[in-house]
Structure 1
Amino acid sequence: MNKSRYVPFERNRYFYGKLLTVRDFVSEQTYVSDKRRLTNRLLFGSGVVAGLQVVAVDEKSVSVETGVALDQLGREIVVPSPVTLKLSMLEGFTNNEYAKNVYLCIGYDEKGKEPVHSVAGASGRTEEVSEHNRIMEGYRLFVREEAPPPSAFEYSDLVEETSVWYQDAQVRVLQTVPRYVTPGETFELKIRIEKTLQTPHVEFEYTPDWTGVEAADSLLEENGGRIVFSEPTDGGKASYTTVATLRALPLPDGEASMNASLRSRRGTARLVVGERLVTELSDVRQSIEVAEESASARMLRAFHERSLDRAIDAPSEPCVYLAKVNLLQMGPTYVIDSVERVPFDEYVINPSMLYRIVGSKGGTEEIIRTVREAAASVLPALNAPIPFPAPQAAEEPYEDEEEEEAPPEKLHDTGIVEISIIPPKKLKWWHRKQRDFYSEEIEHALGEGSVQFEVALSDEKEELALPEMWDRRDAVYFGATEVFAKSEYDSGLPRVSIGTISYPKKGTFRIGVRVLQKTERTRLRIRWWATKQPQEEGAAFGSAFGVFDEAANAKEAAAARS
């Protein structure tokens, strides 16, 4: 697959007299569909959206209900009506062995329809030439007889790490641990055994060799410190999971994080299938990051820091696993014993439904608190508290009660604003290149009234979560920055002139920048400070800066009336 097939986007530009060809109309369709599919891919992921239940209708056939899914390329897969198929007739099903587990998959498929005579294509040819008049976006159902590797499912590696101890046509042994934990946190190590229904009794064990973690339950002690699984004598299941509870050790002094290591002691891993001892086991080595920062925050940061190539990566044959079908061999043929729906939890959940589910557990405030805590280390700008006051009717104080003292007036505020300095394209060659750029109207927290502003160029590192396109010196530059040119203190920032406009009655202001020299920068960060005098000192402050001038007041009143 070409990973960059969706980007960059290119759309048609129409003008009077343009000659439109097949290429233009195809480009129009491709532009719209590729943008939608990229949105599906990055915002929603892949999996079952609705429906697509798989049930066994008899011993050899399955039925797939109507539904919708998204594949790993963001393409919509729609099953408009129920379909019943004999399992052995599906693509990918082989008849060489019936005692097995098979996986029913669905993939996106296109087919041409409505063949029509092609006038242009038949020019100069004796035989009739036809083209399809429509393209039907459909689906195809097929069977895979091998379980997919754990790495085939997106985002799973951001949450947990799954390794394969052993895999063949009859048995697969997996081990899963979380990717991130905090010091002292207890977590689960899961051993999952997947087997066919007619595979004999399975046993698995190994002696762990761990650093950074310790056992947190008595089961390991009872087993002599070993991880042990033994299939129950009354088994009859296609999969089993055994869990060992572990605890992360405290961090070493002076360390902010550490990597806990999980592996087995050499020569202790042992898998027995029936009377057969399996010796070809993988040397599983797993690592867990232990740090004080919450696991959800680290997952969110890893999610946002992934590259675009990784985000739109997809297998060569994208599909969704709808069901795991467990088969039994009955003489020379097979019967369906059971069907497990969506065995690898490939679901796409509606954000509104997710909001309601989480909200029913902890309420809206809990949702907001959880999301903000997770995002705090990724988007520091979101870390400022947002109040959610409940509206209440004002009540008159009782005669014998004293009115509460009003909170102190806020007199100082500061912040950073980014201003784009990309000039628009000149319409004519004689037009002057734009040098003046302005911010949106900025609201400060000092309320109405006269406020004094101070502005400076900011090269600070940790104020906004922005891409690092150049090195920052973690400094703020006031006045004539050219005095530092060609010195060790040179900021690399362009020479600019900065001004402000205040709107006292609205409690807002605006910043303007004039760029005085050529620069490769596309944005400038401006640090601003706002200062307001206390009310009792307002008159002196106003007289000092001329903001209470009667003429100015008259002009403001006239402007308000107009």
Structure 2
Amino acid sequence: MNKPRYFPFERNRYFYGKLLTVRDFMSEQSYYSDKRRLTNRLLFGSGVVSGLQAVAVDDKSVSVETGVALDQLGREIVVPSPVAMKLSMMEGFTNNDYAKNVYLCIAYDEKGKEPVHSIAGASGRSDEVSEHNRILESYRLFIREQPPAPALQEYNHLIEDTSIWYEDAHVRVLQSVPRFLQPGQIFDLRLTIEKTLQTPHVEFQYEPEWANVEPLDLLPEGLVKFAEPTDGGQAVYTVTIRMRVSAALPPRTKDHGTIAAKSGTSRLVVGDRLIYDLTQVRQNVEISDEPSEHRMLEAYYARSLDRAIDSPADPCVYLAKINLLQMGATYAIDSVERIPFDDYVLNPTMLYKIFSSQLRSAARFEPSLVRAVEEQQPHSEQPSGFPDIKDDFREMFGQDEEPAKEEQIATGIVEISIMPKEKKKWYERRQRNFHSEEIVHGLGAGAVLITAGLSDEQDDSEAALPQMWNKSDAIYYGPQDVFHDSQYASEFPEVKIGMIHYPKKGTFRIGVRVMQKTERTRVRIRWWAVKTPSEQSAKDSRSLQLEIVEKEAAASKN
């Protein structure tokens, strides 16, 4: 589809007595299909929507399951039934030495269907003329022996800069850095080496020439180096170097960090072959105190429509990377890596669930996030609503007024053994009181309010489930006999819970008294610790009270 067909849109105007021709009916179909595809392209991007799992059937064949994808023109690719094919029978698989990694791709394809006799087309011709009565929107599977250029991968250029040091049929060396950074920010420089399984030992190195960025740790011999392990056996290796932005900028100014190699120092060794003909990679990152997310959005919305709907000459979706082994005069499939370039299309509901899951996971380690999590996911079986988009934009773009200080909250789970010790004497009482070790609440020294309840929540080691699927999660506070003989009754024994707080140490201890016989050997306690916004507020209050007392004393003297 040509770009000019996306705009402007024209639709048929019908009126009584209008002569309808083939052009009118084709225009009617194109109007709706082009609009739908433009929406797909701009709102959803390209990639796998559902299914399309590629697996090896045997040493020489692969199977693609049913599924749906969108290509770079917004066209829907539907595979209605599983298909299995030999690699050697697929388009694009050349008769080479089988020492390459190949890529399984899928593309949109149209085919004519139901040939019928064309009456109008037969006039003046002696031979029979037929036309297809239907157009089947289908697909084609084919093989590519080269991966896509990093610049062609969807939206990657807005997030990171990926450059190629070297590329041939057997080895590819890439380097990736974030595109936007802030002063003092720690980031990763990622060096990726892709090779075939038959390619001999690979080594790569260069002497860095960096500006406004620096490594967190000393580089070995002052070089960025990679040496393939002697046991090898992998098709992809990744070297990550922790870096830090060293530039200190005045507010609201921008600078650039440079990541490059000194001239003549880059070197690639493949087996006994020394390669000096490498690209002189020079990557620039933008440094500013403005949040990176803000700058990504600016770059996203600043792109032209031509860039937004840009697509390769032969648009397709990469379904799998297939690693081949050379077996004499033939080949064998060693492994199949599904969706090697993360070409996925996620719907808004799935994105929201991922966001909520990450927020809950972060709250386990950041007590300050617990309040936000509880507000978004209250203890109820009813799913909460979507977060207010205004809050997201305040976090992204900042806010004019300083937010009010909130209470500091920490929470955690502790298990206490309630297995009584064996009685040494027959007249000794059975042990009923049990207590935990000292627990650090993490809010520092000072007065802290602590509360606790019996917990029937999931263990952190268990698989995280959406709240709507997890009906057993509950925390029980206070006397539990109020729930007896009801659907809300718990399986816990009747217990009493007490706490000891050590303000100077910032720790506390939980005690449990078991009031009835039980087969349980442990109870799980969920605890909460709450601290006032700051100790300064308490000091200000005492100072104000002292000032009032002094004024009253002075007035009484007068």
TM-score bin (small chain):
0.5 to 0.7
8 A contact 1:321–1:346 mirrored in 2: yes
What is the correspondence of 1:377-388 to structure 2 with a 5 Å cutoff? none
8 A contact 1:251–1:257 mirrored in 2: no
Secondary structure in structure 2 of the residue aligned to 1:4: helix
Partner of 2:56: 56
Query: Take 1:370 and 1:172, find their aligned partners in 2: how far apart are those partners?
Result: 43
Query: Take 1:162 and 1:173, find their aligned partners in 2: how far apart are those partners?
Result: 10
Partner of 1:239: 236
Is the aligned partner of 1:248 residue 2:245? Answer: yes
Secondary structure in structure 2 of the residue aligned to 1:147: coil
Tell me: CA distance 1:49–1:374, structure 2 relative to 1, closer, same or farther (3 Å).
farther
Shift of 1:217: 2.5
Partner of 2:124: 124
Shift of 1:254: 6.7
Is the aligned partner of 1:324 residue 2:321? Answer: yes
Shift of 1:235: 1.1
Partner of 1:467: none
Q: Once the two structures are superposed, what CA deviation does each residue of 1:515-542 show, in whole Å capped at 9, x if it has no partner?
A: xxxxxxxxxxxxxxxxxxxxxxxxxxxx
Secondary structure in structure 1 of the residue aligned to 2:192: strand
8 A contact 1:297–1:373 mirrored in 2: no
Q: Once the two structures are superposed, what CA deviation does each residue of 1:230-262 show, in whole Å capped at 9, x if it has no partner?
A: 111111000000000110123344771101111
The one of 290, 293, 310 aligned to 1:293: 290
Partner AA of 2:279 in structure 1? S
Identity %: 64
Secondary structure in structure 1 of the residue aligned to 2:37: helix
The one of 329, 335, 338 aligned to 2:335: 338
Query: Take 2:108 and 2:208, find their aligned partners in 1: how far apart are those partners?
Result: 44
Tell me: CA distance 1:367–1:245, structure 2 relative to 1, closer, same or farther (3 Å).
farther
Is the aligned partner of 1:376 residue 2:373? Answer: no
Is the aligned partner of 1:313 residue 2:310? Answer: yes
Partner AA of 2:225 in structure 1? V
Q: Once the two structures are superposed, what CA deviation does each residue of 1:78-127 show, in whole Å capped at 9, x if it has no partner?
A: 00000000001100001122111000000000000000111111122221
Tell me: CA distance 1:48–1:20, structure 2 relative to 1, closer, same or farther (3 Å).
same
8 A contact 2:258–2:282 mirrored in 1: yes
Query: Take 1:325 and 1:55, find their aligned partners in 2: how far apart are those partners?
Result: 10
Query: Take 1:257 and 1:374, find their aligned partners in 2: how far apart are those partners?
Result: 21
Partner AA of 1:229 in structure 2? F
8 A contact 1:358–1:367 mirrored in 2: no
Shift of 1:275: 1.0
8 A contact 1:296–1:374 mirrored in 2: no
Report how many aligned residue pairs link the two structures. 380
8 A contact 1:60–1:86 mirrored in 2: yes
Tell me: CA distance 1:102–1:373, structure 2 relative to 1, closer, same or farther (3 Å).
farther
Partner AA of 1:155 in structure 2? Y
Partner of 1:408: none
Structure 2: unaligned runs, 5 residues or longer? 360-372, 377-385, 404-558
Secondary structure in structure 1 of the residue aligned to 2:108: strand
Partner of 2:22: 22
8 A contact 2:60–2:331 mirrored in 1: yes
Tell me: CA distance 1:40–1:375, structure 2 relative to 1, closer, same or farther (3 Å).
farther
Secondary structure in structure 2 of the residue aligned to 1:112: strand
Tell me: CA distance 1:254–1:66, structure 2 relative to 1, closer, same or farther (3 Å).
closer
Q: Once the two structures are superposed, what CA deviation does each residue of 1:430-478 show, in whole Å capped at 9, x if it has no partner?
A: xxxxxxxxxxxxxxxxxxxxxxxxxxxxxxxxxxxxxxxxxxxxxxxxx
Shift of 1:29: 0.4
Partner of 2:211: 211
Query: Take 1:134 and 1:281, find their aligned partners in 2: how far apart are those partners?
Result: 52
Is the aligned partner of 1:163 residue 2:163? Answer: yes
Shift of 1:370: 6.8
Shift of 1:375: 5.7
Structure 1: unaligned runs, 5 residues or longer? 387-562
Partner AA of 2:392 in structure 1? V
8 A contact 1:78–1:139 mirrored in 2: yes
Secondary structure in structure 1 of the residue aligned to 2:58: coil
Partner of 1:552: none
Partner of 1:359: 356
What is the correspondence of 1:401-440 to structure 2 with a 5 Å cutoff? none
8 A contact 2:249–2:288 mirrored in 1: no
Partner AA of 1:180 in structure 2? F
Partner of 1:185: 185
Partner of 1:101: 101
What is the correspondence of 1:502-517 to structure 2 with a 5 Å cutoff? none
Q: Once the two structures are superposed, what CA deviation does each residue of 1:16-56 show, in whole Å capped at 9, x if it has no partner?
A: 11111111010000000000000000000000000000000
Query: Take 1:88 and 1:118, find their aligned partners in 2: how far apart are those partners?
Result: 39
TM-score after normalising by structure 1? 0.65
What is the correspondence of 1:67-78 to structure 2 with a 5 Å cutoff? 67-78=67-78
Partner of 2:43: 43
Secondary structure in structure 2 of the residue aligned to 1:93: coil
Query: Take 1:336 and 1:120, find their aligned partners in 2: how far apart are those partners?
Result: 53
Query: Take 2:121 and 2:200, find their aligned partners in 1: how far apart are those partners?
Result: 63
Partner AA of 2:352 in structure 1? Y
Query: Take 1:341 and 1:367, find their aligned partners in 2: how far apart are those partners?
Result: 36
8 A contact 2:183–2:249 mirrored in 1: no
Query: Take 1:302 and 1:286, find their aligned partners in 2: how far apart are those partners?
Result: 18
8 A contact 2:291–2:397 mirrored in 1: no
8 A contact 1:359–1:367 mirrored in 2: no
8 A contact 2:323–2:333 mirrored in 1: yes
8 A contact 1:294–1:374 mirrored in 2: no
Is the aligned partner of 1:230 residue 2:227? Answer: yes
TM-score after normalising by structure 2? 0.66
Is the aligned partner of 1:150 residue 2:158? Answer: no
Secondary structure in structure 2 of the residue aligned to 1:224: helix
Partner of 1:454: none
Q: For the aligned residues, what is the CA RMSD?
A: 2.1
Query: Take 1:4 and 1:372, find their aligned partners in 2: how far apart are those partners?
Result: 35
Tell me: CA distance 1:253–1:354, structure 2 relative to 1, closer, same or farther (3 Å).
closer
Partner AA of 1:195 in structure 2? K
